[in-house]
Structure 1
Amino acid sequence: MKLSAGDLDRKVRQHDADILAVYGLLGALRETQDVHSSRFDGVEGRLTSVESKLDALGTQVHTHGSKLDALGSQVDALGSQVETLRSDVTAILDLLRSA
């Protein structure tokens, strides 16, 4: 199938128009990618900030846990002392009653 000069010219112009349309679409895609990249950079910055805050919070929780463990040990020691004191008081009261 042989094309006439007019048909060939029309096809070339149509291909040129199609190619320009594709370039236009590629340009629009690039602009959209740039916008998305900028948004992702902003999200990444916020996530980094949140991650830092969570790390600091984790450190505080660990510190508080250690302090609570120490306080628990002190309470246990006080409980033992109270039991010893109770035994001593009971022994003294028993001596006073028997006297």
Structure 2
Amino acid sequence: MAKGYWIARMDIRDPERYKDYVAATKAPFEKYGARPVARGGAATALEGTARARNVVLEFASVQTAIDCYNSPEYQIAAKIRQKAADGEIVVVEGV
């Protein structure tokens, strides 16, 4: 079974509130076995519009990644994030 990856690209509007989001993700990420591959750090835009913060999380499968996103625990965190940042989250299948 192929692993699943979250790719999250964010521009943070409220850094203090975003810290609350990060804290709220701890429980769902642990529950669903999320493993950070890239979290913040330097990024270089080669094409298109870059975002200030980029995160890649590895999950055991695409379905696990989707289940984590849809979980009640993560949806609490998502509501916090949506007030603090603009961005996109996609799930992709690993090779």
| TM over 0.5, shorter chain | no
| Higher-RCO chain (CA-CA 8 Å, sequence separation at least 6) | 2
Shorter-chain TM-score bucket reads under 0.3
Per the normalisation by structure 2, the TM-score is: 0.19
Q: Which has the higher strand share?
A: 2
